[in-house]
Amino acid sequence: MMTIIVVIAAILVVITASQLLKLAELRAKSKGELIYELTQEENKAQGAMLLLFFFVFMGFFAWQIFAWGDRLLPVSASEHGVATDFLMALTFWVITPVFILTNGLLFFFSYKYSYDPKRKALFFSHSNKLEMIWTIAPSLVLTVLILMGLSSWNQITTPIAEEAEHVLIELTGQQFNWTARYAGADKKLGRSHVTLIGGVNGTGVDTNDVNSKDDKLAKGEFHLPVGVPVQFVFRSLDVIHSAYFPHFRSQMNCVPGVVTQFNFVPTKTTKEMKALTNNEDFNYILLCNKICGAAHYNMQMDIIVESQQDYDNWLAEQKGI
Ligand SMILES: [Cu+2]
């Protein structure tokens, strides 16, 4: 009932306002005045306000960076993360001055060229030279940035050769948890398929496949040896999830029916990162970065990065398939 009254009141206010405006228009018309004509002072004041807005907005922008800049992620903990961070910083160094310059000109011109009845507009159809400059210059910069990004991307998405030293881990996402499966000594994951899911075999591993015999499972947390390339393969048992490792600057979608992959080299142990961030509670984390359902927010797994020795000891204790 209250809502209906509020809606009716709002409609009446709008009708009253429009009627008052009409009345003012009629009154001005009968006197021969132009009601919407702005005076020269009003034009200048509007222009000055736009210029003021630009400075206030830029001040706010700078304050945001200085006030909250330290809340960003700590230093990256993977080899390619350094390259990713460099690309990100480079992109910001390129676009920030352009952002300030173009917006500065936009607001300054609004002030400088606010309407003046004495000034005649310059007719300027086009200039090939200008068109060339503002098409070619951004294209060149973008090409360099994109090529650098592609080369970085290829490095983390090209599968590690089977004979090269690495750890092979399969991460399976499902609403709302992760399971990590280690390939074991043979460096080969046993076959898996959704039709084989049942009972204790939650991820559908083919237990008849000889490659699955030494596979190991980890839930809740999983461990990585520092300095060793890790090849991840990803699966999903239900909807699309996304394996997100913020500290390693990595993310990959987990798509039902498709196996996706990427690799990275962890460069800092959990212990080193605790010291570096000055935070005893620091833990590397794997998150789901696709809104996959009601408990999506809690779909996570801790990651412990440690020495090869500690990692070997931990893996030996994990149960097999
Ligand atoms: Cu998810």
The CA–CA distances, whole Å, from 277 to 71, 72, 77 equal 12, 12, 12
- Predicted confidence (pLDDT) per residue in 168-205, tens digit: 999 999 999 999 988 877 777 777 777 777 777 777 77
Distance (Å) from CA 172 to ligand 1 centroid: 10
Q: Does the predicted model carry a pTM greater than 0.85?
A: no
Distance (Å) from CA 77 to ligand 1 centroid: 23
Distance (Å) from CA 180 to ligand 1 centroid: 14
Q: Decide: helix, strand or coil at residue 78.
A: strand
Given a cut of 80, whether residue 137 has pLDDT beyond it is yes
Tell me 69's DSSP state.
G
Q: How confident is the model at residue 24 (pLDDT cuts 50, 70, 90)?
A: confident
Distance (Å) from CA 95 to ligand 1 centroid: 33
Instruction: Please tell me the distance from the alpha carbon of residue 96 to that of residue 93, in angstroms, as a whole number.
Output: 6
Cβ(314)–Cβ(305) below 8 Å: no
Distance (Å) from CA 182 to ligand 1 centroid: 21
Average pLDDT over residues 285-308: 93
Distance (Å) from CA 179 to ligand 1 centroid: 12
In this structure, which residues have their CB less than 5 angstroms from ion ligand 1?
Answer: 241, 288, 292, 299
- Predicted confidence (pLDDT) per residue in 229-276, tens digit: 999 999 998 899 999 999 999 999 999 989 999 999 999 999 999 999
For the record, the structure tokens of 171 come out as: 């991460």
Instruction: Please tell me the distance from the alpha carbon of residue 240 to that of residue 94, in angstroms, as a whole number.
Output: 34
Distance (Å) from CA 310 to ligand 1 centroid: 30
Distance (Å) from CA 133 to ligand 1 centroid: 46
Distance (Å) from CA 178 to ligand 1 centroid: 9
Distance (Å) from CA 243 to ligand 1 centroid: 8
Distance (Å) from CA 280 to ligand 1 centroid: 28
Q: How confident is the model at residue 48 (pLDDT cuts 50, 70, 90)?
A: very high
- Predicted confidence (pLDDT) per residue in 226-241, tens digit: 999 999 999 998 899 9
Higher pLDDT, 220 or 59: 59
Distance (Å) from CA 296 to ligand 1 centroid: 5
Given a cut of 80, whether residue 36 has pLDDT beyond it is no
Residues listed for the chain: 321
